Amino acid sequence: MPPDKKKSSYQQDLERRSNDLLRVFNPLDEDAVVEWDRKNGVKLFRVPKKEEAVLPRYIAEKYIREMFDKILIGDADKAVRKENERRISKGMAAMDKTLKTSEQMQFESKFYVGNDTRAKEIVALLYMGVETEFGVDRVAQQAQKEQDDRPAFERAMKTVQEEKDSGIVPTAPASNGLRCNHPLCTFTTEHKIALFNHKKTHRKGDDLEEKKKEAARKVSK
* Residue 126 domain-assigned (yes or no): yes
Amino acid at 179: R
pLDDT at 191 (0 to 100): 63
- CB 93, CB 85: distance < 8 Å: no
pLDDT at 66 (0 to 100): 93
Structural domain boundaries, residue 24: 13-138
The model's confidence at residue 34, banded by pLDDT at 50, 70 and 90, is very high
**Same domain, residue pair 118 and 189:** no
pLDDT at 208 (0 to 100): 55
Q: DSSP code of 135?
A: T
Q: Which of 138, 168, 187 is the last residue of a domain?
A: 138
Model-level pTM greater than 0.75? no
108-161 per-position pLDDT tens digit: 887 776 677 888 888 999 999 888 876 665 555 555 555 566 666 677 777 777
Helix-, strand-, coil-residue percentages of the chain, each rounded to 5? 50, 15, 35
**Same domain, residue pair 50 and 133:** yes
**Same domain, residue pair 72 and 128:** yes
Average pLDDT, the chain: 76
CA dist., res. 212 & res. 220, Å (int): 13
Q: Which of 121, 138, 155 is the last residue of a domain?
A: 138
Phi and psi for 56 in degrees, rounded to 5?
Answer: -60, 150
Report whether pLDDT(61) > 60: yes
* Residue 168 domain-assigned (yes or no): no
**Same domain, residue pair 40 and 107:** yes
The predicted model gives 85-114 an average pLDDT of 84
The predicted model gives 93-117 an average pLDDT of 81
**Same domain, residue pair 48 and 129:** yes
pLDDT at 173 (0 to 100): 45
- Give the relative orientation of helices 116-126 and 57-89 as an angle to the nearest 10 degrees: 130
Amino acid at 137: D
The total domain count for the chain is 2
**Same domain, residue pair 187 and 94:** no
CA dist., res. 144 & res. 138, Å (int): 10
Residues in the chain, total: 221
Q: Which of 108, 138, 168 is the last residue of a domain?
A: 138
